[in-house]
Chain A
């Protein structure tokens, strides 16, 4: 039996939720005041995911831009956040860049692409 304490992010209430786990399975969710809280807690303890955003260098910009912002196209496992950042370290992409252009395919082996979030000419 393992207990995990979380703050729900579903609304400003910020319920303190206690999840009881056994062998990686959720046994009990306590402290939430709505169904969304229950769902959030179950996901957060079994498979927490995040979108990672960062920026990388560009070269050849007509506007003098030095960076382009980027994000993982969808959620990646929370434990892989730093791996994603490491995997785009040192990358420099040529201009022009369009929103959605792949900066790094399958970033950190997550199966998710890191894509540009800004048009840079």
Chain B
């Protein structure tokens, strides 16, 4: 069995940033395992622009953003294996993986960083009634077909869900010669970025129907049409509001699910809200020495924050290995939430290990206007930030500093509260 200090599961944006950060923090014996034939993950098919504004202060496309990180990995000669599927992770940090050259093989790691990303929710998970013909694709599958394989999955398109990939694909399909007839979103607000609604839908006159869903799919071989209806406040279709659309394609952009089958298999505790691992301030999961970052942890809107989070995980994993895997006694304080946040990453904080700066990220459950985000250490308010609007589609963050924690040597409670402005 081969030994590595740090093994990174997945060579997408999170895995690449984690590997570079771990290397730069002094751990040179790092291995990235990637199932696809190249590094970069989903960014390779995200050929639109809008990446990197925070990280590189310029607007890049997905492949360009990925290339910047891939170059950092190759400059450092960090080892990676492509076309390699991780089949199993054990709590003892034995990785079982498989590829064409090595067969089924095992690796012993001192630390593991989980960066497997997420997958798209499928039609099946939504119980959309109707037939099951060809021509129903998740937006990401359609994106791969158009951008990588060079094929058009369809011509007359209806899109269900206004997640960013769906919006991006509305524009891509339109530019490449398809007619996108409508985007239906079951929620009363869009799950995508405002910028994408304007530049991917409004620019092309594509209507967005909020509080609408698909209630029937027609076509026994290839989809020939679908019916869209308005929904009430309980998301139940309202009879009499049905509208029929002829179409040969239905794209689904109805949510992303962190891909944690491997994490679950190794016994990592998962959070029911995020579907990702529960992590502490070091982005360390319930298994010491196993870290997580990026969309496998919680689904992000911007890759820039994935990279930032993964760099932290990489540094923390390096520190764990440097300490010989010995963990000092932890004093994990749960981050309490009130008034809007549905979860926080991290879920617990040990002030001693919080570093100089600690970013806490969360999402709210509904659209909220004229609010403020506040952080209380015991009863002292240490952060107060006005938020004219917050929406579930946009991740929020607060920054905690060493100085804040130093003032509370006997800290008992950490609370993030959304309050009236």
Contacts and interface: CB of A to CB of B under 8 A. Distances in A.
Contact flag (A, B; Cβ within 8 A): yes
Interface of A: 6-9, 11-14, 33, 50-55, 57, 63, 65-67, 69-71, 78, 81-82, 85, 99, 117-119
Interface in B193-213: 193-195, 197-199, 202-203
A70 B199 CA distance: 18
A70 B38 CA distance: 18
B356 interface: no
A117 B63 contact: yes
B5 interface: no
B232 interface: no
Contacts of B148: 65-67
Interface residues of B, number: 33
B44 interface: yes
B40 to A, nearest CB: 9
A69 B175 contact: no
Given A7-B194, A7-B198, A71 B175 contact: no
B194 A71 contact: no
A11 B198 CA distance: 12
B59 interface: yes
A94 B87 CA distance: 38
A55 B147 contact: yes
B368 to A, nearest CB: 11
A65 B47 CA distance: 15
B410 interface: no
B53 interface: no
B48 interface: yes
Contacts of A13: 388-389
Interface of B: 37-38, 44, 47-49, 59-61, 63-64, 67, 146-150, 175-176, 193-195, 197-199, 202-203, 388-391, 393-394
Given A14-B389, A51-B59, A71-B47, 14 more contacts: A8-B194, A9-B199, A11-B194, A12-B394, A33-B388, A50-B199, A53-B61, A54-B47, A67-B148, A69-B47, A69-B63, A117-B63, A118-B44, A118-B64
A9 B147 contact: no
A63 B44 CA distance: 14
B358 to A, nearest CB: 24
Contact of B47 (A57, A66, A85, A117): A117
B199 A57 contact: no
Contacts of A69: 47, 61, 63, 147
Contacts of A9: 194-195, 198-199
A53 B391 contact: no
Contact of A66 (B37, B44, B150): B150
A25 to B, nearest CB: 23
B199 A99 contact: no
A102 to B, nearest CB: 15
25 contacts: A7-B198, A11-B389, A12-B393, A13-B389, A14-B194, A14-B389, A50-B199, A53-B49, A54-B175, A54-B176, A55-B47, A55-B146, A57-B150, A66-B149, A67-B147, A67-B148, A67-B149, A81-B203, A85-B176, A99-B64, A99-B67, A117-B47, A117-B63, A118-B44, A119-B67
A71 B67 CA distance: 15
A70 B391 CA distance: 32
A117 B150 CA distance: 16
A54 B174 CA distance: 11
A6 B47 CA distance: 26
B364 to A, nearest CB: 11
A109 to B, nearest CB: 18
A71 B198 contact: no
A54 B193 CA distance: 20
B202 A7 contact: yes
A28 to B, nearest CB: 21
A96 B56 CA distance: 26
Contact of A71 (B44, B61, B388): B61
